[in-house]
Every structure is written in structure tokens, then in C-alpha cells.
């Protein structure tokens, strides 16, 4: 399915990227992903396409956990889908056919790549099925009626149409159970376990193990078919996965992807605050996420931070507007137990390096939540890392208490999210609980970056001060 991209492989890469191969036909925008892709792609595309889809699924999962309504979720996902996972309909007038085919190919491949990453445990499979089914529902709702019907017909579902004779005999019961308003509506008969959602809401008539489903509820049947087939396919993939463990090119990528869904990356900006001075940092701690508060507290307590903490906190401060001159002042004054000579020899170069003034002069960006969560875990004496990922429950509760969160229901909500490894969602909940002015709607998107947390909080405080 993939190739590395050494010099001898350049021709393969150019041919693949230049034109979509026609070994797989994509007549429909919607896809049940019944057939795996079979042509070769580069390792770069293998990882890039998977990561782009993973960002979309991460935001879907975040929205589901935060109880967003379908309309809110679609609105939040629209720019993300357009940028990372576009999938236009056959009626898109501004796109060439080859562009539409390329979109569908990337959609096809990225789905199957993530199957490899998320088939490894029952929990990962369940999360993947839920997010992918939600994505399918969103796309299904956006498709026009004619395209929907054409797609459904192409799947050849084994739904048993209810005969007119049987329908007449059961009509009163069918109408009472399903709520249909006309006797002309066709019905399908399927095993009840295939429409558990309709059964649980008592929206279908049940008889002898079969559910009688009106055609108006057809989409529920489609969604159920999608999720059930995907569940079975993931189980089959899991059985075949050991054969892939011998491939030292694939395994690191799959291991990285399977560590968890992540929300989209956030580009930190200094425009929210402007330039800040070393003397102002203490006054800004109240706007920082727990990870940075913990680092600041440790720095003030110990007059020092170990390497991991310095890396994480210095880049965060750079992102909120601390210039190199002020950064040197801040860190020198914070490391008050050492001499100027020791500071200049052991720390000054590294600080300047982070601002692209030494070494390769690379402009380092503040660390995202994903980078922090997946990075080296803190050891004894360390203060870096993500509190939701690396703290004990007792330390986490203490940290939440220091931020003003004492309500037992709120604490339980956060602990439940942490237990489910939804770390960025837990951090988002903390932001919402500590900013009640947001109201019931909460944040429009989940926290995916410490600087995003800071900038949102600082901006809200600034607007509140102006309005008073």
C-alpha cells in the first residue's frame, strides 16, 4: 500500500501524485469502505492523510463528549472538513472530476489507515466506530436526496420489503409504533438487533424478532449497517494485524496514531496580549492552563526547573509575547540560587536557541497539547507534562481545587474524562467551569493548545473589563 521515497522511488511518487489510479471506482461521495485500497502510496502521504483524518475525528469525539447538537457540530466541523478532509459531491460545478476522485481516494485511504491504528483494543475500536459513524451521518445529511438513494441502491441491502397484504393486516400497529401519518408509506422488515436505536426509542413495531421500519426511517438502517459492518471489519483487521508488526516502517506510525484522538492543532499568537515583560508573568498566571500553572508554581517554589519543564514553559511564554530580552531577565531572576556565571554558561545559550538566535536558528513553536501528552513523561523532580495525563487523581483534584473547582459533580465529570483518556476534553471542561460567563454553550471548539487556553481566557477577561 505504501512506498518509501528514496531517490530511486521518485518516479513512483510523481506518478501517484499526478493522477488518481482507476483501479478503484468512486461513483459516490458516500462510502461504506467495503473494499480496501490496493495501489501504492508514499509513507509521507500514508502519515499525512491519516493525521488529517485523525484531527477531524478528534474534534468529532470532543463535540460528542461535550454534548453538542448536530447543527453545532456541523458548523464547527465545516472549516475543518474543508481544510483537512474535503469531499465534494458529484454536483460540485467548480471542481474537475480528477479533483473529486483525488478527494475520495484520500478519504478512502485515510479511513483504512486509521483502521490499522484503532483496531488494537476494544476501546479504540468503539471510539473509532462512533466517530466514523458520526462523520458518515454528517456527510449523509449534506448529500442531496437523489445521490443518497443512488448510493443506498448500490449497496444491495438485504432488507425484506413488507408485502401490501401483511402491511394492511398490521397497519394500525405499524402506524401506532412508528408514528407515520400515511398508509401508503412502504415498510422494511429486519432483525430487531440491526435497529437497536429505533427499538430503544419504541419507534418500530416488533414481531417474532423482526422490526418493521418505515422508509422514512431508512437512514437509521443505513447508519446501523455502517457501524455494524465497521465493527466486524475492525475485528478482522485486529486478527490480521500481527503480520504487520514485522514492518519497521509502519509500526512506529501506527503506534503514534493509536495513542489517541487529538483535537486540531492551534497556531499560537502574541496578538491577544502583545509583548509582555518579565515582571508581568506572575500577574498572568490566572489565565494559564493547569500544566503551565504547575510549572510556574514549581519554578517559584524551587527557584529552578529541570530541562523538560524549561522547554515546555519557555516556549509557552515565548508564545504569549515574552521577548528574548525579557525571557533572559525572567529566567535569570527566577533562578535566584545560582550565580550569573553559572546561568550564562548553562542556561543562556538554550534560551537564545529557542528564539532562533543560536545554533541552527530554528524558530521553535510553543508545544501543543498533543506534543506534551505524547512527550517524555515526567520523572522524579520534574514538573513538565499534562496534569490530566500524568498526575495522580489526588494531585489532579488538588490542582483543580487551586483553580477554584470544588463542586463534586464537576470534579466527577473531569475525572471521568481523564479515566477515558480524553485529556484535551477534560482541559476544555476546566476552562468552561472556571469561566462561567461562557454559559451553557461553552467553548465553540475544544482546547488543543496551552496558548489557546491562555489567549481565550485573557481575551475574555479583557472584554469583561472593558464592558464594566
Band (256; pLDDT cuts 50, 70, 90): low
Task: Tell me the per-residue pLDDT of 52-91, one tens digit each, with 9 for 90 and over.
Answer: 999 899 888 878 766 677 888 888 899 999 999 999 988 7
Q: Is the pLDDT of residue 211 over 60?
A: yes
| pLDDT on residue 244 | 60
Instruction: Report the percent of the chain where pLDDT is more than 70.
Output: 86
Q: Does pLDDT of 313 surpass 50?
A: yes
Where does the pLDDT of residue 16 fall: very low under 50, low under 70, confident under 90, or very high at 90 and above? very low
**Phi, psi (deg, nearest 5) at residue 161:** -65, 140
Q: What is the model's pLDDT at position 145?
A: 81
Q: Specify binding-site residues.
A: 291, 369, 386, 427
Count of C-beta atoms within a 10 Å radius of residue 451: 26
The mean-pLDDT minimum among 21-35, 90-104, 254-268 falls in: 254-268
Paired strand residues for 189: 160, 212
Per-residue confidence (pLDDT) for residue 261, from 0 to 100: 55
CB 385 within 8 A of CB 377: yes
HEC string of the chain? CEECCCHHHHHHHHHHHHCCCCCCCCCCCCCCCCCCCCCCEEHHHHHHHHHHHHHHHHHHHHHHHCCCCHHHHHHHHHHHHHHHCCCCCCCCCCCCHHHHHHHHHHHHHHHHHHHHHHCCCHHHHHHHHHHHHHHHHHHHHHCCHHHHHHHHHHHCCCCEECCHHHHHHHHHHHHHHHCCCCCCCCEEEEEHHHHHHHHHCCCCEEECCEEEEEHHHHHHHHHHHHHHHHHHHHHHHHHHHHHHHHCCCHHHHHHHHCCCCCCCCCCCCCCCCCCECHHHHHHHHHHCCHHHHHHHHHHHHHCCCCHHHHHHHHHHHHHCCECHHHHHHHHHHHCCCCCHHHHHHHHHHHHHHHECCCCCCCECCCCCHHHHHHCCCCCCCCCCCCHHHHCCHHHHHHHHHHCCCCCHHHHHHHHHHHHCCCHHHHHHHHHHHHCHHHCCCCCCCCCCCHHHHHHHHHHHHHHHHHHC
Rounded Cα gap, residues 144 and 147, in angstroms = 5
Mean pLDDT of 353-376: 88
Is 14 a residue whose pLDDT tops 50?
no
Percent of the chain residues past pLDDT 90, beyond the cut: 49
Mean pLDDT of 178-189: 83
Q: Who wins on pLDDT, 46 or 10?
A: 46
Least confident of 134-138, 162-166, 251-255: 251-255
As a whole number, mean pLDDT of residues 411-418 equals 95
CA 452 to CA 436: how far, in whole Å? 18
pLDDT at residue 250 is higher than 80: no
24-49 pLDDT, tens digit per residue, is: 468 999 999 999 998 888 988 998 99
Residue 424 pLDDT exceeds 80: yes
CB atoms within 10 A of CB 307: 11
Per-domain residue ranges of the chain? 2-153+226-257, 157-219, 278-467
Give the number of other Cβ atoms within 10 Å of residue 78's Cβ.
Answer: 12
Tell me the average pLDDT of the chain: 85
2-153+226-257: CATH architecture:
Up-down Bundle (1.20)
Distance CA 420, CA 154 (A): 38
Which residues sit in the known binding site for [4Fe-4S] cluster? 291, 369, 386, 427
Statement: residue 6 has pLDDT above 60: no
* Mean pLDDT within 351-380: 89
- Residue 35: C-alpha distances to residues 2, 97, 231, 235 (Å): 17, 21, 15, 15
Q: Which three cell numbers stand for residue 41?
A: 502510496
Q: Given this model, what pLDDT does residue 251 score?
A: 66
Amino acid at each position: 500500500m505504501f512506498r518509501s521515497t528514496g531517490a530511486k522511488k521518485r518516479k513512483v511518487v510523481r506518478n501517484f501524485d499526478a493522477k488518481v489510479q482507476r483501479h478503484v471506482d468512486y461513483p459516490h461521495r458516500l462510502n461504506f469502505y467495503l473494499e480496501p485500497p490496493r495501489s501504492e502510496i508514499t509513507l509521507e502521504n500514508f502519515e499525512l492523510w491519516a493525521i488529517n483524518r485523525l484531527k477531524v475525528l478528534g474534534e468529532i469525539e470532543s463535540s460528542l463528549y461535550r454534548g453538542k447538537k448536530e447543527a453545532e457540530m456541523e458548523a464547527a466541523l465545516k472549516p475543518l472538513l474543508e481544510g483537512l478532509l474535503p469531499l465534494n459531491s458529484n454536483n460540485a460545478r467548480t471542481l474537475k472530476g480528477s479533483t473529486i476522485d483525488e478527494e475520495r481516494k484520500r478519504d478512502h485511504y485515510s479511513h483504512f489507515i486509521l483502521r490499522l491504528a484503532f483496531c488494537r483494543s476494544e476501546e479504540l475500536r468503539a471510539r473509532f466506530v462512533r466517530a466514523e459513524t458520526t462523520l458518515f451521518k454528517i456527510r449523509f445529511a449534506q448529500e442531496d436526496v437523489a445521490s443518497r438513494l443512488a448510493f443506498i441502491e448500490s449497496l444491495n441491502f438485504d432488507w425484506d420489503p413488507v408485502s401490501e397484504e401483511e402491511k394492511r393486516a398490521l397497519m394500525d400497529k405499524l402506524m401506532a409504533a412508528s408514528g407515520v401519518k400515511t398508509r401508503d408509506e412502504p415498510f422494511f422488515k429486519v432483525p430487531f438487533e440491526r435497529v437497536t436505536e429505533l427499538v430503544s426509542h419504541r419507534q418500530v413495531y416488533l414481531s417474532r424478532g423482526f422490526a418493521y421500519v418505515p422508509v422514512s426511517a431508512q437512514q437509521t438502517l443505513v447508519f446501523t449497517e455502517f457501524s455494524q459492518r465497521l465493527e466486524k471489519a475492525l475485528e478482522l483487521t485486529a486478527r490480521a494485524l500481527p503480520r504487520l508488526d514485522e514492518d519497521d516502517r509502519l509500526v512506529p506510525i501506527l503506534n503514534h496514531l493509536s495513542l489517541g484522538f487529538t483535537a486540531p492543532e492551534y497556531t499560537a499568537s502574541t496578538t491577544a496580549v502583545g509583548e509582555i515583560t518579565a515582571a508581568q508573568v506572575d500577574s498572568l498566571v490566572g489565565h494559564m492552563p493547569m500544566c503551565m500553572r504547575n510549572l510556574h508554581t514549581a519554578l517559584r517554589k524551587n527557584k529552578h526547573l529541570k530541562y523538560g519543564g524549561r522547554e515546555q514553559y519557555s516556549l509557552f511564554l515565548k508564545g504569549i509575547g515574552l521577548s528574548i530580552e525579557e525571557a533572559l531577565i525572567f529566567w535569570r531572576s527566577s533562578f535566584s540560587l545560582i550565580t550569573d556565571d553559572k546561568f550564562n554558561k548553562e542556561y543562556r545559550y538554550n534560551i537564545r536557541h529557542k528564539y532562533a538566535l543560536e545554533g541552527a536558528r530554528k524558530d521553535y513553536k510553543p508545544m501543543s497539547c498533543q506534543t506534551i501528552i505524547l512527550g517524555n513523561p515526567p520523572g522524579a523532580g520534574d514538573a513538565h507534562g499534562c496534569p490530566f495525563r500524568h498526575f495522580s487523581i489526588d494531585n489532579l483534584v488538588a490542582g483543580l481545587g487551586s483553580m477554584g473547582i470544588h463542586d463534586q459533580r464537576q470534579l466527577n465529570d473531569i475525572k471521568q474524562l481523564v479515566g477515558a483518556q480524553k485529556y484535551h476534553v477534560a482541559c476544555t471542561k476546566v476552562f468552561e467551569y472556571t469561566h462561567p460567563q461562557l454559559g451553557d454553550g461553552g467553548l465553540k471548539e475544544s482546547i488543543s493548545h496551552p496558548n489557546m487556553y491562555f489567549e481565550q481566557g485573557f481575551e475574555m477577561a479583557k472584554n469583561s473589563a472593558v464592558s464594566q
